[in-house]
Amino acid sequence: MARIVMKFGGTSVADLTRIHNVARHVKREVDAGHEVAVVVSAMAGKTNELVAWAQGMPKATGSSTPFYDAREYDAIVASGEQVTAGLLAIALQSIGVDARSWQGWQIPIRTDNAHGAARILDIDGSELVRRMGLGQVAVVTGFQGIGPDNRIATLGRGGSDTSAVAIAAALKADRCDIYTDVDGVYTTDPRIEPKARRLAKISFEEMLEMASLGAKVLQVRSVELAMVHKVRTFVRSSFEEPDAPGMGDFDNPPGTLICDEDEIVEQQVVTGIAYAKDEAQISLRRVDDRPGVAAGIFGPLAEANINVDMIVQNISEDGSRTDMTFTVPSGDVDKALAVLEKNRATVGFDAVQSEAGMVKVSVIGIGMRSHAGVAATAFKALAEKGINIRAITTSEIKISILIDGPYAELAVRTLHSVYGLDKQ
């Protein structure tokens, strides 16, 4: 007997037929004698609809910020998961499985106060453990908890993955299964490259890079938590028949295992390609070249909660003026330009230019640590396709390249093929 957390994403619970199908997946594990907690997302498209409603509301009179009240945003967008949890609990009961739904605050899942992008601080799993011991399935709303202000807080888009891993850690579960609309983690997004291959295993570090660099199959924070708490996490498909051969295999379920690097025997140099759309490039021309300038630029941007990513600075020819280029999410360009303009006098620069609609394509692999020439291969392959490189950043296990938006798919496919990742 083991304890398992099963998470089902939006497409897996998109309608009542699929919710009944999910119930059969859960019943399979219950019948095998396991204790089960289930984490659910909102039905596909629901959260987008709720977000659009919230964003369409007028801001409060006299409000000093251009945004709506984030606590009310959370109250609105958290409702999608509440519906799914109730429906799944009923679907389970209807096939003879004892189940009840739990909202984040009822457990409670405690978060910090960052409404809209809250982090889980603590989960009291004692009541869930007691009831699972009595054979009851806990169906928990993903994506949310309760903040120190006693109000619902959501964890950022895609946050149900994080709820699942955090609950698995709190319950000391033997496994956390993330069921989605693909049967595992692929060498790149299979929607872009049909030749992508499913990985049997991927290391925590690589998955962290893949997720951070745009592969939305897992929320970044969920991978961090899995890594820190050593949660055995599988990504697998909810679209398989629940009773298909091997689906209930405890040690080796079908899907991709996220694990420690040393569990992976055959390590490739490059494991995967990720991409992130909607990046914007901002360049400051003729910036003063003196100590404190970078802090003068990026400090205020950070204070405004703008996520600066790639930063490129040239060495100035005469030691007095230089150019500084960096990227931000396209949605933050106007805010960033306003912040820069406000700080123009203190920083000292001549002009600012911006361009949206860029894409960042990244090559990821732990094997890069010990192999030279990985970056050169990428640059050559992109050049041969006539793709211009605007900026480059590297770390020990990844190379990221900024290119023009229309070339995204060509670049992903080109890199996928040049590193030998295409399925034969």
In contact, 167 and 5? CB cutoff 8 Å: yes
| Residue indicated by tokens 């945004």 | 67
Instruction: Write down the least CB distance from residue 253 to ligand ADP, Å.
Output: 16
Residue 207 binding ligand ADP, by CB under 6 A:
no
Tell me the closest approach of the beta carbon of residue 180 to ligand ADP, in angstroms. Answer: 3
Residue 75 Rama label (left phi>0; alpha psi -120 to 50; beta): alpha
Instruction: Give the one entry of ligand ADP, Mg ion, ligand ASP, none that residue 157 binds, where binding means its C-beta sits below a cut-off of 5 to 8 angstroms depending on kind.
Output: ligand ASP
50/306 with CB nearer ligand ADP? 50
Q: Report the C-alpha gap between 352 and 343 in whole angstroms.
A: 12
Residue pointed to by tokens 């570090």:
205
Q: Binding of ligand ADP at residue 9 (CB under 6 A)?
A: yes
Total residue count of the chain as it appears in this document: 424
Instruction: Tell me if 188 sits within 8 A of 271, measured CB to CB.
Output: no
Q: At what angle are helices 79-94 and 70-77 packed, to 10 degrees?
A: 20
Tracing tokens 């931000």 back to the chain, one arrives at 328
- CA–CA dist 350, 284 (Å, integer): 7
Helix (H, G, I), strand (E, B) or coil at 207: helix
What's the closest the beta carbon of residue 176 comes to ligand ADP, in angstroms? Answer: 13
The DSSP output letter for 349 is: -
Rounded CA-CA distance 403/136 in Å is 51
For residues 100 and 138, the answer to whether their CB atoms sit within 8 Å is yes
**Residues 331-370 interacting with Mg ion (rule: CB under 5 A):** none
Q: Which is nearer to ligand ASP, 41 or 237 (CB)?
A: 41
Q: Which amino acid makes up residue 332?
A: D
Instruction: Give me the amino acid identity at 13.
Output: V
Taking residue 352's Cβ as centre, other Cβ atoms within 10 Å add up to: 16
Prior bond of 148 cis (ω within 30°): no
List 4, 6, 10, 415, residue binding ligand ADP (CB under 6 A)? 10
Give the integer Cα–Cα distance in Å for 207 and 220: 8
We find the least distance from the C-beta atom of residue 167 to ligand ADP, in angstroms, to be 15
Give pairs for 344-347: CB < 8 Å, separation 24+.
Answer: 346/296, 347/284, 347/287, 347/288, 347/293, 347/296, 347/297
Residue nearest to ligand ADP (CB): 9
Instruction: Point out which span in 19-27, 122-130, 214-222, 258-266 binds ligand ADP (CB under 6 A).
Output: 214-222
Q: 287 and 345 in contact (C-beta within 8 Å)?
A: no
Q: In the complex, what is the shortest distance from the CB of residue 281 to ligand ASP, in angstroms, rounded to a whole number? A: 27
Is residue 104 within the footprint of Mg ion (CB under 5 A)? no
∠ Cα 404 405 406 (to 5°): 100
Least gap, CB of 90 to ligand ASP (angstroms): 20
Interaction partner, residue 147 (ligand ASP, ligand ADP, Mg ion, none; CB < 5-8 Å by kind): none
- Only one of the segments 3-11, 116-124, 192-200, 377-385 lies at the binding site for Mg ion (rule: CB under 5 A); that segment is 3-11
CB 11, min distance to ligand ASP, A: 9
224 vs 110: CA distance, rounded Å: 18
Is residue 14 within the footprint of ligand ADP (CB under 6 A)? no
List the one residue out of 162, 165, 143 whose CA is nearest residue 152.
143
By the criterion CB under 6 A, which residues form the site for ligand ASP? 9-10, 41-42, 47, 80, 142-143, 157-161
CB of 202 to Mg ion, least distance (A): 16
When the beta carbons of 176 and 358 are compared against Mg ion, the nearer one is 176
The partner in contact with residue 143, picked from ligand ADP, Mg ion, ligand ASP, none with C-beta cut-offs of 5 to 8 angstroms by kind, is: ligand ASP
Quick note: the x/- pattern for ligand ADP over 35-54, rule CB under 6 A, is ------x-------------
Question: Smaller CB distance to ligand ASP: residue 9 or 125?
Answer: 9
69 binds, among ligand ASP, Mg ion, ligand ADP, none (CB under 5 to 8 A by kind): none
Q: Is 326 in the site for ligand ADP (CB under 6 A)?
A: no
| CB-nearest residue to ligand ASP | 160
Going by C-alpha positions, the residue among 215, 211, 102, 88 that lies closest to residue 163 is 102
Among 73, 102, 186, 326, binds ligand ADP (CB under 6 A): 186
Q: Which is nearer to Mg ion, 160 or 187 (CB)?
A: 160
Residue 198 CB, shortest distance to Mg ion, in Å, is 17
Check binding of 180 to ligand ADP (CB under 6 A): yes
Is residue 197 a contact point for ligand ADP (CB under 6 A)?
Answer: no
DSSP letter for 256, please: E
Under the binding rule (CB under 5 A), the answer on residue 158 touching Mg ion is: yes
Enumerate binding residues for ligand ADP (CB under 6 A): 9-12, 41, 158, 180-182, 185-186, 188-191, 210, 215-217, 272
